[in-house]
Structure 1
Amino acid sequence: MQLDHIELSQINFHALNVQKVVRKHFGDQDHSRWVFSTSNGSEGGSDRLFYKIWNRSHIRCDNILAALDIGFYDEVTTPALRALIFSGGICRGYAMETCQKPEIRDDAFFRTVAERTVATQHFAVQFGRAHTMEFRAKNTMIDLEGVYHIHDLALVRAHHSAFACAEYAALVAALYRRTFREDNAVASELPLENHNSWRRQPVRKALQTASKYHGKLISKAFPGIARIES
């Protein structure tokens, strides 16, 4: 997959719009990340770009590189991916073109990702309907940094993460059991994201929604807070 390489120092953050700010640590694990976007019609008239960026110390800073090298991510699974962002030889994020929410679930795309998971022995912990978008009439995965080799399945829990899709988690668990028959404990009861609904859990859903926009609102009120750490 041919991707542009962008140096972090060359990005003019003052010209970008802040979309999301998450400053989060679990002990010594850095999970902070930022999402910025260009304005419509910028970047030489091309489509709007979204930059997802993290710190040097991010817990999954280089995971995406292995997934690209092995072919888990490519033109079929991530057609919206346009560039990787580096600083001092360390991957600091990536850029994707504008996507839209798909109107219906594409079961064929789920099967494609499932087959790619088995073939490459890599999995994306956040893969699921909420993290699948549409790009130029094609489905594309997003939130790409949370990808692991199957032998690192235990890191999902250790990294305070969770699978976005129970069906996909079951597939990954089955793959792990087939690969490591002598150790099935890791694949038991994999952590799953809590999908709260406005109808059944209105308070939890409200808090969850507010947390998504809290960093964005604060960064707009106090622009210095959105500055990327070196």
Structure 2
Amino acid sequence: MINRLAFLPVLLCALLLLGRGFPMAWAQVSTNMDALPSAAVSSSHHAPVGHKQRKVAHAQNTTNSQPPAKAKATPAPTPAGYSRKLDIPAKAPTPTVITPPPFPVALHPPVPAATVVPAATSHSHTEPLQGGALRVLFDPNSADLNEETIEAVRHYAQSMAPKTEVRFILHSYANVPGNDISMPRRLALSRALAIRGLLVQNGIATTRIYPIAQGRPTADDTAPTERLDIRPESNPPPVETPLSADQPSNEKTPKP
């Protein structure tokens, strides 16, 4: 055994010398991958285990980082008799044409003023008040006027008729015994209508006269109970309506 091992170096040297003396030969080698074992082929294409674990971990982190999807709100049910669709007509409605009546309409004439007849037994009279007012005093439970009172009211109406910016408030009072509240107002209304008739007959328009049947006076009223006060008042000034952006103004712009 020892002698065989001693010849190995000699054989190796001889082989090297022989190889240098002959040219080297090249051969083409082809490998058939189908002939290799399937287990070996499959293992050669698999990625390392550590790389696969990193991919799984990265996928889990990506999934956890995404915001949760919002749940869709469920619409409330439509009540009975209603619809969620807009009811828009296909075309604009046809304008309504108002035709005049085929026959003339009779207009009611204004109610004429009541004629006031003087009563000889009446003790009524008038008293001037401050501010151009006039007070008419009546007999209890009566709306009659004597001739002197009628002439005084006529003269007052004729002097105030040209003042078209003035209106007249008739505050009429009456005191009737008993607890009935309607009778004093009825008597006060009769007195106011009598004075209104005299004012209209002497040039004052009905639109400027405002009769008010006050009825029985209040407990703190110290004036005579059987009276009617004619109080003139100035008409309120007209209210100026502000112009809109689309409405042109009548005022002229001064030139510079």
- Per the normalisation by structure 1, the TM-score is 0.25
Larger radius of gyration: 2
* Bigger relative contact order (CA 8 A; separation at least 6): 1
Structure number with the higher strand fraction is 1
